[in-house]
Amino acid sequence: VSDFAYSTYLSDLAVDKEYQKLAAAGLVPVMPLEDHPWGDRGFAVQDPNGVMLYIFSLREPSAEFKQYFRQEA
């Protein structure tokens, strides 16, 4: 198992397509594809070298988490 982890941001539709592509290639998700209340839609897989990949797109955070986001001027 590797000590490395990477995050990759994709557009809204691309994250779903990437999930399907990686699952079809045999990578088993260690975190399922889902919307998260902190403001993203993502999933995680572990590659054959043990590197954890978190792939996501941004979403509107829930009210619970929105208070922690900085407002753009």
What pLDDT score does 54 carry? Answer: 92
Q: What is the mean pLDDT of residues 27-39?
A: 92
Given strand 29-36, what is the order of strands in its sheet?
5-9, 52-58, 40-46, 29-36
Query: Contact 46/52 with Cβ under 8 angstroms?
Result: yes
Residue 2 pLDDT grade (very low, low, confident, very high; cuts 50, 70, 90) = low
Neighbours of 8 (CB within 10 A): 13
The residue among 18, 17, 1 whose CA lies nearest residue 54 is 18
Query: Contact 30/42 with Cβ under 8 angstroms?
Result: no
pLDDT higher than 60, residue 30? yes
What pLDDT score does 31 carry? Answer: 94
